[in-house]
Each structure stands twice: as structure tokens, then as C-alpha cells.
Amino acid sequence: MDRIYNIGIIGGGVSGVVTALELAKYGIESILFEHKESVVNGPPFCHLHAGGNLYPDISDEQCKILLKQSIDMARLFPNSIDERPTFISVPKSEKYKVDKIRNRLDMLVEHYKGLIDEDPANEILGTPKEYYKTYTKKDLIELAEYPTFNRPNSLDKWMSNAIKLIDYEKLKTPVFLVQEYGWNLFRLGAQAQLALTKTEKCNLKMNTKVTSIKDVRSQNLDYNWEICTEEKVYKVNYLVNSCGFKTGDMDESLLLNTERLIEFKAAYISKWHHLPGLIPELIFHGERGTPNGMAQLTPYCEDYYQIHGMTTDITLFKDGLVQSKDNETQPEFNEDINQKLSHGWYKDEIKTRTKNAIAFVTKFVPKFESATVGGPPLFGAQQIHGNDPKRRVGEVSFPCKSYARSEIIKASSALAVANKIITKIQEEEIIPLIQKKINRNFLLERISKKEIDKLASELAVQRGYPKALSRLVIERE
């Protein structure tokens, strides 16, 4: 007789793998289906939004959630966290008020203190006092005269390296340095894949596309769902839909109608000349979707830099944001975007958009003019449930019995989603009550840094990116 799995998870992005790993650590078996040849191979991520300071338009509440969820994920995957700060500024041409940014940072410091009071191990972003620092114009003039620091070990040294490159006359002051770190998707994917492959508690099926779902809950069988792939039908009791921007495909299979947006975006890889000292990630705020949208420069190893520019010539795309229609749960992109998602990009467009991105950053970092195309873009589509495109925190919903739909918008929400799903599965008595909840995941902890280094580098190369993108700028001990 065919085996019945307690939990079937569709989609091996960050959400699906974290759910499978959290179940496995409690000894709960699952089967995880991933269409692609490796896990965490969907839309990219590079920034741990530990406070949501890249989004001046979102609510304080969302910022607090992002701070807490980011800390939780960083504790789970420390080997994927790049501990360099983020420079936050507002160009003089833009509407955002620096006082408002500072008030929000103060609010976040208080929230961070509270999280540390709850659990001292939450102090992973430095002390609350060091969470951010403000720099006036006078400070910047002084710091620009400091020597360059090869490996800065204080916020002032990071700022000193950065400000030598930035045309700060274009910026409102003060500017800020914040402990929002980098987040390496290749390293997270490698660690998760190694842990899932090693545990007997998860049947990881990569290169396996789920073609449809059949609801058999009313048929009085020993299981609730049939998960159909091209080769086989799998029987499961509880279904987790973590298909990312494709969650609507499974909903359609189940005749569930839900409102959602999907958005396609890209970030560009450039190579610059060698700098004598490391720099933080650089943020120049601007209104999203206008020609002056936010510019984001993310440093990687070996002089590679990733660029986001929130304009339709760079990161955003015409018709890149699509809403579900009344009679259609899964929104559809146009042919051009579908082509990119399934077959990749034409070389000409990589060149044009990367050059646009370099020129965009050059407005604030004049010497960046000499940067060149460094590789193919990191790109993909993400889901936003409901109809508010500004929403940055999404979690999970339970549209019917024995069914969970992950709706994360930022990768940091993955652990919160996994925990809510586990609670729900216990409530439905599909698994026994877990007597003692633990934060740590020993399946992840037993993967060595050496193993992560090796697989992360293989994953980067397999996906067509420079090996250097799999390493951290600040190597961990």
C-alpha cells in the first residue's frame, strides 16, 4: 500500500524548507516537492530587513514585526548573515523627512531592548545603543578626513569609508548607519538543502513539479489530499502550499478564490574596481516607481556589487505588478516576464538594465561610473496577498481544514509561518502535541561552515552567478 504522509509541502523556497526543517526537528515526517533542481531557488534576497528601514512608507507595526522576525531567522541561519551595516539617507530632492526616520529608529531601539529582555540571545544586532547612529554634516566632513579602514570595526569607521565615496551635498542631513545586515540566499539554501538531505524525517523531492491537488476530505479515506506529480500521486493528511508567487495555482486546483498581487523584480550584478576598505550597504531613499525611486547598492566579495533601483528602467517592470481577476485566482504576467521567468534574459537587456542601474547609483556615488556588468541579474516574482502593494509583512492563512497557504513577502517571515502551521497541525490533531517547544534547530546546527561554503559556491555557479556571491563580506569565525 502507498505510504500516507502526515504533511505534504509544495514549494522548496525559504518558506517550504523552514517549515520542513522545523517539523523534522520535532521528529515529524513530511514530503517536500520542489520543481527546480535545488531549494531556495526562487526570487532572491540580499537584505535582512531587521527593522524595515528600507520602507519609509510602511507602518511602525510592520517595522517591529520585521525586526523580530529577522532576528529569529538570523539566529536560525547565522552562516547566511553578513554583519555589515546599512547607510540610510534621503536625497534633498525627495519628500521623506529625516526626523521621521530618526523617530522610527528610536521606536525600533525600544522594541529591540524589549526583545533582548525577553531573551538575551536576541542581541544579534549589537547593543540597542549601537542599533543606529546619526551623522550630521559636520560629522561627515570630519569622517571624510579619516584614513580608510580595511575592515571597519565601528560604525564611525564604516561611515568614514562610505562617505569618501558619496556626494553627500545631494543628501539631507543627518544621515544614518543602521545594523540592518546582508543576507546570503546561496548560503541559506545550501544549509537548508544539506540539513534536509541528511534528515530521514523529510522526503525531499527536487526536480518534481506538482501538477494538481485533489481534495478527498469528504471521501472517508485515511488521508485528506492527493498531490499529483507527473510520475505519481502522493497521499497526505495536511497540505502546505508554499509555492511563492504560484500559490494561486494550487488554490485554483482546489477551487479557492483569493485576492492577491504578484510582482516581478530584478537586481543587477556589477563589478567595480577594488576599494581599499569595506563599505556598508548604501540606501538613497526615493519614491518607488518614480524616476527617483530608491537606489540600493549591496556589497559582495571580490568587488561585486548588487544594485536595486526602484524605477521601471531598473528593478521594476512595466506591468510587473499584476492583480488577480475575479474569475482567476492565479494572476498572470505578460509574455516578456514569463519568458524571463522560464527561459532567462536576453543578453542585450542584461547589459542595458545593468548599465541603467550603474548610472542610477553614480548620481550619489560618482566614482561608481567605472563599474561594469558583473553577471546575470538576480530576479524573480513574489506574492503579496490582498490588494495593498505596499504591504511588506505577510504570513500564513488557513483557508480550509487541513490546508495552510504561506503568504510571505519577505524571507524573514518564514519561521513565523512555520511555527503557525505547526500549531495549526497540532490543533487539528494530525500530529501529537509538542510538549516542549525549542527555538534552536539541531538539524541546521550540525551542518558545518565548510559544507555550507562548498554547496553555496556550487549553487551560485550552477545558477550562472560568480562564485564570490556565495561568500560573506564579513567572514564568520
Q: Which is nearer to ligand FAD, 156 or 226 (CB)?
A: 226
| 12 is a site residue for ligand FAD (CB under 6 A) | yes
| 242 is a site residue for ligand FAD (CB under 6 A) | yes
- We find the least distance from the C-beta atom of residue 381 to ligand FAD, in angstroms, to be 6
User: Considering only residues 412-441, where is the footprint of ligand FAD by CB under 6 A?
Assistant: 412
| 410 is a site residue for ligand FAD (CB under 6 A) | yes
| 42 is a site residue for ligand FAD (CB under 6 A) | yes
| 307 is a site residue for ligand FAD (CB under 6 A) | no
| 35 is a site residue for ligand FAD (CB under 6 A) | yes
Q: How many CA atoms lie within 13 A of 307 on its CB side?
A: 33
- We find the least distance from the C-beta atom of residue 383 to ligand FAD, in angstroms, to be 7
User: Considering only residues 182-201, where is the footprint of ligand FAD by CB under 6 A?
Assistant: 183
- We find the least distance from the C-beta atom of residue 144 to ligand FAD, in angstroms, to be 29
| 69 is a site residue for ligand FAD (CB under 6 A) | no
Q: Which is nearer to ligand FAD, 98 or 316 (CB)?
A: 316
Task: Dig out the grid coordinates for 9 from the structure.
Answer: 509541502
Count of CB atoms situated within 10 Å of the CB of 143: 18
Count of CB atoms situated within 10 Å of the CB of 1: 5
> What is the SS3 assignment for 193?
helix
- Pairwise CA distance, residues 403 & 454, whole Å: 36
- Residue 344, CA distances (Å) to 263, 265, 391, 442 in order: 17, 13, 28, 37
Q: Which is nearer to ligand FAD, 266 or 295 (CB)?
A: 266
Q: Which is nearer to ligand FAD, 35 or 260 (CB)?
A: 35
DSSP codes joined into one string, 61-88: HHHHHHHHHHHHHHHH-GGGEE---EEE
Closest CA to 392 of 163, 91, 122, 54: 54
Instruction: Give residues with Cβ within 8 angstroms of 347, minimum separation 6.
Output: none
Count of CB atoms situated within 10 Å of the CB of 391: 17
| 45 is a site residue for ligand FAD (CB under 6 A) | yes
| 353 is a site residue for ligand FAD (CB under 6 A) | no
- Pairwise CA distance, residues 408 & 45, whole Å: 13
Sign of CA dihedral 108, 101, 285, 259: positive
Q: Which stretch binds ligand FAD (CB under 6 A): 37-45, 105-113, 165-173, 330-338?
A: 37-45
Helical segments of 244-346, H only? 247-253, 335-343
Q: Which stretch binds ligand FAD (CB under 6 A): 107-115, 286-294, 366-374, 375-383?
A: 375-383
Instruction: By CB under 6 A, name the one of 7, 8, 13, 105 that touches ligand FAD.
Output: 13
Question: Is residue 177 within 8 Å of residue 85, measured between CB atoms?
Answer: yes
Count of CB atoms situated within 10 Å of the CB of 291: 11
| 337 is a site residue for ligand FAD (CB under 6 A) | no
| 36 is a site residue for ligand FAD (CB under 6 A) | yes
- Pairwise CA distance, residues 202 & 242, whole Å: 16
- Beta-ladder partners of 323: 261
| 111 is a site residue for ligand FAD (CB under 6 A) | no
Site for ligand FAD (CB under 6 A): how many residues? Answer: 40
Instruction: By CB under 6 A, name the one of 34, 139, 180, 251 that touches ligand FAD.
Output: 34
Q: Which is nearer to ligand FAD, 101 or 267 (CB)?
A: 267
Question: Is residue 213 within 8 Å of residue 84, measured between CB atoms?
Answer: no
Count of CB atoms situated within 10 Å of the CB of 370: 11
- We find the least distance from the C-beta atom of residue 407 to ligand FAD, in angstroms, to be 8
Q: Which is nearer to ligand FAD, 172 or 246 (CB)?
A: 246
Instruction: By CB under 6 A, name the one of 244, 293, 374, 376 that touches ligand FAD.
Output: 244
Amino acid letter for position 23: L
Q: Which is nearer to ligand FAD, 197 or 370 (CB)?
A: 197
Residues that bind ligand FAD (CB under 6 A): 10-16, 33-36, 41-47, 49, 183, 209-210, 242-246, 249, 265-267, 379-380, 382, 406, 408-412
